């Protein structure tokens, strides 16, 4: 099968589709974060995007292209929560019925958010069920369109609009970015960012942040081919527990990624606490992983460099948020 690899032109087309629909999210800063990281940090706050995460960009990009007859059949998606909510909102706006395949272990807040926008949820046991296969079967039976969370040309293009937007914001500030760090799960956001930066800012190095036990991108980059994670304990970074990079996303990321920073749940919780104290931004663990990576002072970034981190989502259950609050940002970091 020939992969449909998106291009920068697909990203610009997606941006036109998203005009008037997706929120323009802010680029924020704080002196304390610069001091801790040793670099000039610019934070792209996607928690104020519709659905509380960047995923709405890709969801609307894909769903808005469905024909009238395709819309009648509805859509099926599989997700631990953020793609689910993005699909639910975009589907509601476009008058499309949405069914979401979600793991039983998905955060309650993400399930509630998905249901609140009119989508139907079918739960599954992630230990015994292949979610992609289940979703494909349900889509076939109901004559619906399957919308994967990351391995789709138009989903990737939609996520890439985040990068175009942040580069325009940096240009307004007269800032040239030396590096950018993005969370990496299946690799859709990372791939979209890479497409935009390759065209608009090719000198900028792109890095990913992954949970330590779900570092399939790091393993795949080392091997030069897609690798699958071995069974591991669940991570608090539920949005980043994809078993392997996508075929399309890895075809893009393997050529353009400069490296991966594996981060622990504790490091993400500390970053959550610090983001809340300094910026009053509520992050989920996966949404904080890029910030956690920057705060760990990786040598690759270089002291005093201009670095953007994507705060990708803020849909977090109360108990996890309380756990993060125990890592008081008023104490020396880390």
73: tokens are 């059949």
Helix (H, G, I), strand (E, B) or coil at 65: coil
Residue 109 has pLDDT above 70, yes or no: yes
Question: Of 183, 108, 98, which is closest to residue 147 (Cα–Cα)?
Answer: 98
Domain 8-54+153-325 has CATH 3.30.565.10: no
Q: How many helices (H) and strands (E) does the chain have?
A: 14, 10
Q: Tokens 């970091």 label which residue?
A: 333
Contact 267, 292 (CB under 8 A): yes
Q: What does the CA dihedral 147, 153, 157, 158 come to, rounded to 10 degrees?
A: -10
Half-sphere exposure of 95 (CA within 13 A, CB side): 6
**For position 81, what pLDDT does the model report?**
87
- Global pTM reads 0.95
Q: Where along the chain do its domains lie?
A: 8-54+153-325, 56-146
* pLDDT tens readout for residues 41-80: 999 999 999 999 999 999 999 999 999 999 999 999 999 8
CATH of domain 56-146: 3.40.50.1100
Least confident of 84-93, 165-174, 230-239: 230-239
Contact 75, 98 (CB under 8 A): yes
- Maximum pairwise Cα distance, the chain: 58
Contact 228, 250 (CB under 8 A): no
Question: Of 253, 292, 246, 249, which is closest to residue 269 (Cα–Cα)?
Answer: 292
**For position 332, what pLDDT does the model report?**
65
Q: Tokens 């975009």 label which residue?
A: 90
Q: Please check whether the two domains, 8-54+153-325 and 56-146, share a CATH topology.
A: yes
Q: Is 112 exposed, middle or buried (0-12, 13-18, 19+ CB in 10 A)?
A: middle
Question: Of 310, 292, 322, 325, which is closest to residue 82 (Cα–Cα)?
Answer: 310
Question: Of 139, 62, 79, 159, which is closest to residue 114 (Cα–Cα)?
Answer: 79
Provide the 10 A C-beta neighbour count for residue 266: 15
How far, in Å, CA of 245 to CA of 228, rounded? Answer: 8
Q: What does the CA dihedral 227, 230, 236, 238 come to, rounded to 10 degrees?
A: 50
Mind giving me the DSSP string for 91-143? HHHHT--EEEEEETTS-HHHHHHHHHTT-EEEEE-TTT--HHHHHHHHHHHHT
Question: Of 28, 55, 30, 31, which is closest to residue 44 (Cα–Cα)?
Answer: 28
* pLDDT tens readout for residues 255-314: 999 999 999 999 999 999 999 999 999 999 999 999 999 999 999 999 999 999 999 999
**For position 330, what pLDDT does the model report?**
59
**For position 167, what pLDDT does the model report?**
98
**For position 127, what pLDDT does the model report?**
83
How far, in Å, CA of 152 to CA of 5, rounded? Answer: 9
The set of residues, in sequence order, having a beta carbon less than 8 Å from that of 169 and lying 6+ positions away, is 26, 27
Q: What is the mean pLDDT of residues 121-132?
A: 90
């Amino acid at each position: 099968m020939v992969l449909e690899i998106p291009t920068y032109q697909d990203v610009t087309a997606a941006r036109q589709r998203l005009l008037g629909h997706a929120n323009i999210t802010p680029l924020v800063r704080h002196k304390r974060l610069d001091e801790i990281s040793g670099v000039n940090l610019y934070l792209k706050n996607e928690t104020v995007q519709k659905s509380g995460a960047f995923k709405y960009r890709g969801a609307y990009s894909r769903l808005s292209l469905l024909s009238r007859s395709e819309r009648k059949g509805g859509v099926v998606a599989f997700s631990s929560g953020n793609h689910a909510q993005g699909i639910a909102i975009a589907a509601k706006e476009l008058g499309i019925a949405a069914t979401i395949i979600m793991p039983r272990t998905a955060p309650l807040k993400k399930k509630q958010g998905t249901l609140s926008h009119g989508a139907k949820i079918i739960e599954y046991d992630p230990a015994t069920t292949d979610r992609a296969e289940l979703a494909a079967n349900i889509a076939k039976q109901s004559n619906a369109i399957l919308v994967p969370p990351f391995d789709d040309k138009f989903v990737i293009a939609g996520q890439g609009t985040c990068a175009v937007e942040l580069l325009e914001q940096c240009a307004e500030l007269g800032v040239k970015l030396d590096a950018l760090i993005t969370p990496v799960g299946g690799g859709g956001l990372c791939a979209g960012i890479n497409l935009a930066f390759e065209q608009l800012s090719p000198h900028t190095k792109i890095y990913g942040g992954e949970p330590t036990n779900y570092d399939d991108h790091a393993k795949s980059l080392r091997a030069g081919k897609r690798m699958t994670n071995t069974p591991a304990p669940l991570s608090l970074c539920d949005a980043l527990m994809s078993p392997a990079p996508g075929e399309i996303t890895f075809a893009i990321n393997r050529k353009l990624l400069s490296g991966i920073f594996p981060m622990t749940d504790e490091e993400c919780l500390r970053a959550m606490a610090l983001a809340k104290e300094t910026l009053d931004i509520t992050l989920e663990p996966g949404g904080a992983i890029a910030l956690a990576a920057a705060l760990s002072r990786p040598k690759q970034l270089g002291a005093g460099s201009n670095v953007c981190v994507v705060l990708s989502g803020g849909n977090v259950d109360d108990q996890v948020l309380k756990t993060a609050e125990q890592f008081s940002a008023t104490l020396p970091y880390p």
